[in-house]
Amino acid sequence: MTKAAEDDDRTLLAMGKQMKELHTSLQVVFNAWKKSELRNKDIRGELQQATTELGTANEELRSIKDEPPTVRGDLQALKQQVEYDNTETSEKLEVLTTLVSARSGPSPSYAAVARCGHACEKAW
């Protein structure tokens, strides 16, 4: 073999070795890229889940924020009902008190009849 052929062989062997090293390096980079893509996919999934959970939490917060006027309205209606029931109970109690008082005395007074109204007239 001639010197030129030997030099060409050495050059080809060196180039082949460099190609193998380059191939190995590219495999390392490619494998790292694949791992990175898998991790990115996992992160995207976690981010999507977190976004969904935040959306749900925002909806719950909005509904809670909207509740106070409804609760206030319910409380106001309940307060009015209790006041009405209290007034009605007081009136009934006054009628009963007048009836008991009238039955224990000789006859009802004008003031007792005026306080009691028509409900007491039936009792006398």
Statement: the pTM of the whole predicted model exceeds 0.75: no
- Within the chain, where are the H helices? 3-104, 110-116, 118-123
Q: How far is CA 55 from CA 49, 50, 51, 60, 82, in A?
A: 10, 9, 6, 9, 40
Per-residue confidence band for 79, with pLDDT thresholds at 50, 70 and 90 = very high
**Does the pLDDT value for residue 48 go beyond 80?**
yes
Distances (CA, A) of 24 to 16, 20, 79, 85, 121: 12, 6, 82, 89, 113
Rounded distance between C-alpha atoms, residue 28 and residue 31, angstroms: 5
The residue type found at 102 is A
